[in-house]
Each structure stands twice: as C-alpha cells, then as structure tokens.
Amino acid sequence: MKLQLKENWRVWLLVVFMLLSTVSLFVPFGGTGGITGSDADQASGSQYTNLQFGLELSGGTQVRAPFAGMTVSGLEFGPEAQPEIESALRAELDMSASDVRASAESGTVEVFEDRHVGNVTQAEFAAALTEAGYQTGEGDVEMGVTADTRQNAEDVLNERLRERGLGGGSATQVSAPGQQFMVVEVPGANRSEVIELIGDRGQVEIWAMYPTDNGSYETQSLLSQEDLAEIGGARQEQGETFVPIRLNEEAGARFGDAMRANGFGQQGGTRCSYDLNASIDENAADDPGRCLLTVLDGEVVFAAGVAPSLASSFESGTFDENPSYRTTTTSFEDARELEINMRTGALRTELDIDNRGTTFFLLPSLAERFKPLSLVTGAAAVFAVALTVFARYRKPEVAAPMLLTAAAEVYILLGFAAAVSLPLDLSHIAGFIAVIGTGVDDLVIIADEVMQQGDVRTSRVFESRFKKAFWVIGAAAATTIVAMSPLAVLSLGDLQGFAIITIIGVLIGVLITRPAYGDILRILVLGDD
C-alpha cells in the first residue's frame, strides 16, 4: 500500500504530530522531567518521560489567599502629585513608604493594609484621602489591590519558586465573585516550606546607623532592590557568609556620598557592636558605633562596620567608579534568602494567609498511589471502548484503525502536556478519559455514515458521505468547546483542568486525528489506487 503525500496528507500530518509528541515526551531538554535516582522522589516530574505531575499525583502544598490592601480608583492627578498623595496618606494612616502607592497612569491609590492585615479600615482610608485633597467616601474604597500589583506579585512569586529550584511550582491569579486570589502550588513541598517562601514581602534594604553631632543616633535607608545592578550567588569563604552585589551608577554615587558625609570613610574603617536581639532604639542607647544594617521586611538581620579597605574606597571616591561590596550575613541560609529576595524583588503587598487563606497538603506517598490507579482507569476505559467497537462492527480491519486513531489522539495530547509542562492532576486524567469517549464516538459517526449507507464505489461518494459526517462531529465539537469554555476560564477548582484537557483534545481530534481517520477509512473502503 502506497501512501501518496498529496492524496493522504492528513495521514502524514498525523504521523508528523506523533513524531513531535514522541520528541516532547521522551527527549530530555534539561528540565525536571526524565530525572533518575533519589531526586525522582523529590520532584514532580516523571522518571521516564517529560510529563509533569500536579499535587494530586505527586503530593505537595497548595496555598490560596487574597491580597492584603484597599484601592480607590477613578482619581485624576498627575505624576507630580504622586509623592504628595503618598506622603499625606503615610502621615494620616501612620504607614511606611512601602505601604502606600499612588499611580497617575491608572488613576489609583492603594494602601497595602486593611481591616484583616493591619488596622486600617475603609472609612479611615477614605478620610485620609479626603484630607489629601481628594473627596472620597467609604463606598469608593474597594477591598483588594490593582491588577498591576497582582501581576507584580505573580511575577515575583514565580521567580522565587524558580530561584529556589522548586520544579513544577507555580503562582497563578484566580478570580472569585468579588475577590481576587493568588493560588500557589508547590509539588513535593510541605506547608511550612511554602509559607516561609511566600509569606513575607521580601523587601531588602541597606540602612546606615551613625552618631550625629549632638550624640544621638540616626538611621537612614540608603539602598533597596531597585538600586542593585548585579547580584552574585551566596558564598561562604574563610568563615564569612555574604552576597556580593554591585550597585547601579546612580545608587553607587549616592551611596558613596552618604558614606563620606556620615563618617564611614574614616581611616581604619568603622566599628559596630549592634545587638541583633535588641531594638534599634536600645542599640542607639548603647553607642554601637557606625553600622551598615541589612534589613529584611523591616527587621534588622545583620549589622556590620565598614572594613578599612572599603572605607578607603569611600574616601578616595574609587567606590563611586566601581560600586561593589559584600552584604554579609550570619549564616549561609540567611545569605541564600537575601540573594533570592534581591534577585526576585519584593512583593508590594502580602498574602492574607492567616485570616482569609486556605492551605492544602497531600502526602507524596499517598499521591504516588494515585498514579497506578489512574493508569488502570485509563486502560479500563480503552478496553471497554475496544469491546464496544468490536462488538458493533465485528470487523478488525474497521475497529482496529478506529482504536489506534483514538489512541493517537491521546498520545498527541500527552505530548502537548509535556511540551507546555502542564502539571497533570486527577481532573486532567478525567479529561483524557472524556477525550477517548468523545473521540471514538465521532469515529463511529464517520464509519456509520460512510459504510452503512450502501456500497462506496468511488472517491466522490466517499468524500460526500465523509463531509456529511464531519459536519456532524464539527458541530458537536463546537458545542463542546463552547460549553467547556466558562469552566476553563473561571476558577472552579478541578473542573478547570478537566475543561482545558477536553477542549484541547477536541481540537486535536477535529483538526488532526479524525480527518486522518477519514483517509484511512477511504483506503480501506476503496483501496490505495
């Protein structure tokens, strides 16, 4: 039998997609798939393929929580008014600079506290904004933050997951009536690990603490993540743990000027006896000397003086030309956390996990049991369909291509899942079974229309009957896609995964496998001439 490309291009298209799926499933690309050895127990990837498994098939933690904050939108002000609004709100609500954000571009003002996280109510926010010159009522204040802030949080959390090497982990925004949530899923990790990773905003700052002329102590924030141009990896050398950083040109000059103005460039460097177990005020009372403080989310995590060589570079101005230095910590774990926070940036707001959030944890050992059960369920579905098809046609030459075509549809769908690193869960397995059922159902429609309407003697008759059948399955596919679309878009838990797999499976069937089955059936009915 010869398969001419021009006449049987649908069959060749199916072959091409089968080959692409094989590459996607089995060729290692350096991801978490295809791992071997003990690491396989800790990852969410398959040991033999590039498939990724979600929480229900690999175990792990899911955290679902809303964002802390409130927003007033629809305001009109220019960029020059942003600092004034933020300053007025900070003063009225007793907030820090990072807790208020005004955006002239979107006409919004946000505060990153609410009645659940912090002590700011909608009425207080409205009153403070009115004091700032923008007449606002309590009804104008919406719970939650802007879309820009939510997108920032999603990007930062996904970057944190990648930096921490948690393969298969993801952070995704989901919508619910009247509220937006962030869903973070980390296969293979327990609850405490995930909370530690996403629970803090991760704002890293460098403060200077120094005595003034009257003997009191001053603290000044000098650097934040935005001032960093390069961040090295956490290191431990000669008993010292640190993160090497390089400042951008503007921050380097500003930092050098501040060091010289406040006595950090003195010969021999500076001493620092800051006690991390005491507050800043208590340390100031004990005359700690000139210190550079590393501050994470408002808490001083390390304090140190300036080494003689660094002090000399401040004084001579060479630091301004090459603004690089080490941010030292007390342990390698702290250094690694600082490195990740510096690289990924800070969250503008935090997730309210304690009050309005939910967490879900599934033991990996329990999840492992679902994999063979899912395989058995799929095999049982295929076996039941095969029995039904053979019982109906009682001709292996008709039933076998039908089953092989349906299997090819599932194989291509698995290849797609591997290509996009879709973490498979039980809902996706249910979608695969649904695809098998609808796929064979459509193939039966094609076979019945072509073969049970009398003998097929010419290609013209075959094409006419095939087109008639294809209109029927095309209409059914369109109905399925329309019906499933709301489930695929809305956040309805497991139904979303089921809908996505079903829609993609239907598209693969209508565009690739079912047309190919038409060519195969034509060859069987008319021969290959």
- The rounded radius of gyration (Å) of the Cα atoms in the chain is 31
For residue 43, the model assigns a pLDDT of 46
Which residues pair with residue 70 across a beta bridge? 111, 143
Rounded to whole angstroms, the Cα distance separating 225 from 342 reads 6
For residue 354, what are its two tokens?
Answer: 């304690």
For residue 130, the model assigns a pLDDT of 92
Q: CATH 3.30.1360: which residues of the chain?
A: 204-338
Mean pLDDT value of segment 307-320: 88
For residue 209, the model assigns a pLDDT of 92
CATH of domain 204-338: 3.30.1360
pLDDT exceeds 80 at position 345: no
Q: Which among 37, 66, 43 has a CA at the least distance from the CA of 189?
A: 43
Instruction: Name the 3-class secondary structure at 517.
Output: helix
Q: Cβ(518)–Cβ(447) under 8 Å?
A: no
Bridging pattern class, strands 240-247 and 235-237: antiparallel
Which residues pair with residue 173 across a beta bridge? 182
Q: Which among 151, 155, 152, 161 has a CA at the least distance from the CA of 187?
A: 161
Mean pLDDT value of segment 486-495: 72
User: Among the listed ranges 279-288, 360-369, 465-474, 487-496, which one has the minimum average pLDDT value?
Assistant: 487-496
pLDDT exceeds 90 at position 4: no
Mean pLDDT value of segment 273-293: 89
H-helix or E-strand containing 521?
A: helix 514-526
User: Looking at 397-442, which runs of residues are DSSP E strands?
Assistant: 423-424
Which residues pair with residue 174 across a beta bridge? 181
Mean pLDDT value of segment 55-61: 83
Crossing angle (nearest 10°) for helices 364-393 and 426-451: 10
For residue 37, the model assigns a pLDDT of 37
Residues 177-233 pLDDT 10s? 778 889 898 887 888 888 888 888 888 888 999 998 888 899 988 888 788 888 888
Q: Cβ(273)–Cβ(286) under 8 Å?
A: yes
Q: CATH 1.20.1640.10: which residues of the chain?
A: 8-23+50-56+363-526
Mean pLDDT value of segment 128-135: 90
Rounded to whole angstroms, the Cα distance separating 158 from 369 reads 29
If pLDDT is split at 50, 70 and 90, which confidence band does 30 have?
A: low
pLDDT exceeds 60 at position 528: no
pLDDT exceeds 80 at position 491: no
For residue 111, the model assigns a pLDDT of 92
Max mean pLDDT among 60-74, 85-99, 174-188, 371-385 falls in: 60-74
pLDDT exceeds 80 at position 359: yes
pLDDT exceeds 60 at position 42: no
Rounded to whole angstroms, the Cα distance separating 72 from 398 reads 65
User: Among the listed ranges 105-114, 299-308, 520-529, which one has the minimum average pLDDT value?
Assistant: 520-529
Give the percent of the chain with pLDDT over 90.
Answer: 15
Q: Cβ(360)–Cβ(494) under 8 Å?
A: no
For residue 507, the model assigns a pLDDT of 92
Residues 430-444 pLDDT 10s? 888 888 888 888 888
If pLDDT is split at 50, 70 and 90, which confidence band does 508 have?
A: very high
For residue 33, the model assigns a pLDDT of 41
For the whole model, what pTM was predicted? Answer: 0.67
User: Among the listed ranges 127-136, 211-220, 235-244, 478-487, which one has the minimum average pLDDT value?
Assistant: 235-244
pLDDT exceeds 50 at position 35: no
pLDDT exceeds 70 at position 2: no
8-state DSSP, 140: G
Max mean pLDDT among 7-16, 163-172, 338-347, 447-456 falls in: 7-16
Q: Cβ(362)–Cβ(204) under 8 Å?
A: no
If pLDDT is split at 50, 70 and 90, which confidence band does 493 have?
A: low
Backbone angles phi, psi at 296, to 5 degrees: -115, 115
Mean pLDDT value of segment 152-158: 89
Amino acid (1-letter code) at residue 270 = T
Residues 44-55 pLDDT 10s? 566 778 888 888
For residue 36, the model assigns a pLDDT of 37
- Right CATH for 8-23+50-56+363-526 from 3.40.1170.10, 3.50.50.60, 3.40.50.2300, 1.20.1640.10: 1.20.1640.10
Query: Mean pLDDT across the chain, nearest whole number?
Result: 84
User: Looking at 128-232, which runs of residues are DSSP E strands?
Assistant: 142-143, 170-176, 179-187, 204-211, 217-224, 228-231
For residue 71, the model assigns a pLDDT of 94
For residue 32, the model assigns a pLDDT of 46
For residue 125, the model assigns a pLDDT of 92
Backbone angles phi, psi at 174, to 5 degrees: -135, 155
Sign of the dihedral defined by the CA atoms of residues 430, 432, 435, 440, in that order: negative
H-helix or E-strand containing 62?
A: strand 60-66
H-helix or E-strand containing 434?
A: helix 426-451
Q: Which among 511, 528, 510 has a CA at the least distance from the CA of 519?
A: 528
**DSSP code string of 445-514:** HHHHHHHSSS---SHHHHHHHHHHHHHHHHHHHHHHHHHHHHHHHS--THHHHHHHHHHHHHHHIIIIIH
For residue 266, the model assigns a pLDDT of 87
For residue 306, what are its two tokens?
Answer: 């300036």
HSE-up (13 A, CA, CB side) for residue 322: 7
The alpha carbon of 340 is separated from its chain's Cα centroid by a whole number of angstroms, namely: 16
For residue 424, the model assigns a pLDDT of 85
Residues 404-428 pLDDT 10s? 888 898 899 999 998 988 888 888 8
Which residues pair with residue 231 across a beta bridge? 245
